[in-house]
């Protein structure tokens, strides 16, 4: 039998969480970097354009102060040279043109570059858009004052420096964000794994323990025996050399339930579980398999040691238990099977112990050890127990009426009903062969009603025939 199934922990959760967090971090960083980069570029471009606008205004003011007769190449060149040298420290040029003539002043820019840039400026629609030439970025300003058109083109350096500075900071920020994302993913994965482990442990406990007594249940027993009796594997404990399995069945549990109610029955079960648990010690385990039945798996127990334990349990169950102000005792019948002399597997051990337990009930001996030599008797008892339901349904339980005679007069004063089982295979069986089975099968009330109904029917038949015969019934 496989071990109790657990919630499978997806081993890909951690890498998937890491990837998910990294993707989110990457997306957020990409948006942040893009917005920051574009915003920085726009601000830098606007700042440089504003500075270039001041220079263009300065040129126009200087030109406007010249008298028309003083405007010549030498004066214009002097003005442009002074302004470029004093206000500009990067490659640039200024062009002043009128309908009749044109003046140029270059700073670290060749004539060919100037011509190309002027052509690009003429094609451009908005001076807010930088011009790219030879892997360099240029900004431009153009202003017309009167007859003069001033064109100022400058290679931007502040933009590149600013963007480089911002890029370094954004890279550091992105690395920090990625590190936080990985840390968050690992933390979440750890929390999820720990939570899954807690859920597994809770579900395993619920699945393998009885809710009333808190004892392990049959599922735990099967797993325990499979691990104890099976071959050595990585998933099992070291197999035992020998051990005993004891099935404990309470004799009068149904009477307590019927007389005091189910709450009293639950109280009885909890008290018996407490008492029996106090009689055993690890590695032996007490298991409640359902109803009024308990099982003890005692590794390394010999049969003699199991007998001693059984006697202690029977004595403990016979001790009074206070329920609803009344003292009751449950009594117990115990069947013992031994590994490996009587059975070598889980099912065999349970069957042997169960057979011995029913034999103990039938003999009212308290406990019985499974005996291979009496296996036929055990099987007959189990077979009869299984056939009881059919016996009542098919009316195989019949009544014989023993007359009660007044010795003084010789008259029949009544009759006593005696039950027999007309078994189809074994013939007529006396009450000693099946009454105990009825008492411990949970069919006592059904059997009593059947006997009363059968006797009443017979009394009615006799009455119709003119015979008034009282019938005595022992229940």
Task: Encode pLDDT of 87-132 as tens digits.
Answer: 788 889 999 888 888 888 888 888 899 999 989 888 887 776 788 8
Boundaries of every domain in the chain: 13-162, 209-370, 385-475
Q: Which is more confident, 193 or 337?
A: 337
Residue 197 CA to chain centroid, in angstroms? Answer: 7
Q: What's the mean pLDDT in 66-90?
A: 73
CA distance 276 to 307: 14
CB distance 349 to 247 below 8 Å: no
Chain segment 439-463, per-residue pLDDT in tens? 766 677 888 899 999 999 999 999 8
Which has more pLDDT, 309 or 328? 309
Range of weakest confidence among 168-172, 261-265, 375-379, 432-436: 375-379
The span from the CA of 243 to the CA of 309, in Å, is 13
Is the pLDDT at 310 greater than 90, yes or no? yes
Q: Provide, rounded to the nearest whole percent, the portion of the chain with pLDDT above 70.
A: 91
Chain-centre distance for alpha carbon 446: 45
One CATH from 3.20.20.450, 3.40.50.11540, 3.40.228.10, 2.40.10.170 for 385-475: 3.20.20.450
- Give the Cα separation of 443 and 384 in Å (integer): 13
The pLDDT, as a whole number, for residue 108 is 86
**Backbone φ, ψ for residue 232 (5° rounding):** -70, 125
The C-alpha atoms of residue 432 and residue 42 are separated, in whole angstroms, by: 107
Q: What is the mean pLDDT of residues 290-295?
A: 90
Range 2-23 average pLDDT:
65
* pLDDT higher than 70, residue 378: no
pLDDT, average across residues 276-290: 92
pLDDT score recorded for residue 1: 40
| Residue with more model confidence, 375 or 342 | 342
Check pLDDT > 60 for residue 72: yes
Question: Per the structure block, which two tokens stand in for 319?
Answer: 């001790």
Backbone angles phi, psi at 241, to 5 degrees: -80, -35
Task: Quote the distance between the C-alpha of residue 296 and its chain's center.
Answer: 30
Output DSSP code: residue 98.
-
The two tokens of residue 64 are: 């406007």
What is the pLDDT confidence band of residue 2, given thresholds at 50, 70 and 90? very low
Report the run of H or E that residue 398 belongs to, with start and end: strand 397-405
pLDDT tens digit sequence for 243-276: 999 999 998 888 888 888 888 889 999 999 999 9
Q: What is the pLDDT of residue 437?
A: 76
Reported as a pLDDT band with limits 50, 70 and 90, residue 379 is: low
User: What is the overall mean pLDDT for the chain?
Assistant: 84
CATH topology of domain 209-370: Alpha-Beta Plaits (3.30.70)
pLDDT the model gives residue 129: 77
Nearest to 283 by CA among 301, 302, 303, 298: 298
Q: What is the pLDDT of residue 231?
A: 66
**pLDDT tens digits for 84-98?**
777 788 889 999 888
Is it the case that residue 155 has pLDDT exceeding 50? yes
Contacts of 349 (CB under 8 A, 6+ apart): 225, 229, 245, 337, 339, 342, 343
Judge contact between 59 and 94, C-beta under 8 A. Answer: yes
Read off the tokens for 254: 């149904």
Determine how β-strand 471-472 pairs with β-strand 412-423: parallel
Q: pLDDT value at position 271?
A: 92
Query: Do residues 219 and 296 touch, judged by C-beta distance below 8 A?
Result: no
Q: Is the pLDDT of residue 278 over 80?
A: yes
* Contact status, residue 194 vs residue 262, Cβ threshold 8 Å: no
pLDDT value of position 285? 94
Report percent pLDDT > 90 for the chain.
21
Q: In 3D, which of 417, 418, 414 has the Cα closest to residue 467?
A: 414
């Amino acid at each position: 039998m496989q071990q109790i199934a657990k919630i499978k922990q997806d081993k890909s959760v951690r890498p998937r969480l890491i990837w998910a967090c990294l993707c989110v971090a990457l997306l957020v960083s990409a948006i942040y970097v893009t917005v920051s980069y574009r915003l920085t570029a726009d601000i830098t471009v606007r700042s440089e354009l504003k500075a270039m606008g001041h220079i263009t205004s300065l040129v126009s003011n200087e030109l406007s102060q010249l008298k028309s007769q003083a405007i010549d190449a030498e004066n214009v060149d002097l003005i442009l040279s002074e302004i470029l040298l004093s206000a500009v420290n990067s490659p640039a040029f200024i062009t002043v043109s009128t309908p009749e003539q044109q003046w140029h002043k270059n700073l670290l820019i060749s004539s060919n570059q100037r011509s190309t840039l002027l052509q690009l400026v003429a094609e451009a629609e908005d001076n807010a858009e930088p011009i790219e030439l030879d892997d360099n970025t240029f900004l431009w300003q153009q202003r017309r004052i009167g007859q003069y058109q001033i064109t100022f083109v400058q290679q931007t350096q502040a933009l590149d420096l600013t963007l480089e500075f911002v890029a370094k900071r954004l890279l550091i920020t992105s690395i920090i964000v990625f590190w936080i994302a990985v840390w968050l993913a690992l933390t979440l994965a750890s929390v999820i794994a720990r939570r899954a482990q807690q859920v597994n442990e809770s579900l395993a406990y619920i699945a393998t323990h009885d809710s009333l007594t808190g004892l392990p249940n049959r599922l735990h027993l099967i797993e325990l025996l499979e691990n104890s009796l099976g071959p050595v594997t990585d998933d099992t404990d070291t197999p035992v050399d020998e051990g005993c399995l004891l099935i404990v069945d309470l004799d009068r549990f149904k009477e307590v339930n019927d007389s005091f109610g189910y709450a009293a029955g639950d109280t009885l079960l909890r008290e018996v579980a407490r008492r029996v648990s106090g009689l055993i010690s690890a590695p032996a385990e007490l298991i409640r398999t359902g109803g009024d039945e308990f099982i003890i798996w005692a590794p390394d127990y010999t049969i003699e040691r199991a007998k001693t334990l059984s006697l202690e349990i029977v004595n403990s169950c016979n001790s009074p238990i206070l329920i609803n102000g009344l003292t009751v005792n449950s009594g117990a019948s115990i069947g013992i099977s031994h590994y490996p002399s009587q059975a070598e597997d889980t099912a065999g051990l349970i069957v042997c112990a169960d057979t011995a337990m029913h034999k103990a009930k039938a003999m009212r001996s308290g406990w019985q050890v499974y005996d291979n030599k009496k296996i036929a008797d055990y099987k007959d008892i189990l077979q009869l127990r299984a056939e009881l339901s059919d016996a009542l349904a098919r009316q195989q339980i019949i009544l014989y009426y023993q007359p009660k005679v007044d010795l003084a007069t010789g008259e029949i004063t009544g009759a006593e009903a005696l039950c027999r089982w007309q078994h189809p295979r074994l013939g007529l069986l006396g009450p000693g062969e099946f009454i105990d089975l009825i008492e411990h099968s949970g069919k006592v009330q059904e059997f009593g009603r059947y006997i009363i109904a059968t006797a009443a029917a017979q009394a009615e038949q006799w009455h119709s025939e003119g015979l008034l015969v009282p019938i005595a019934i022992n229940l």
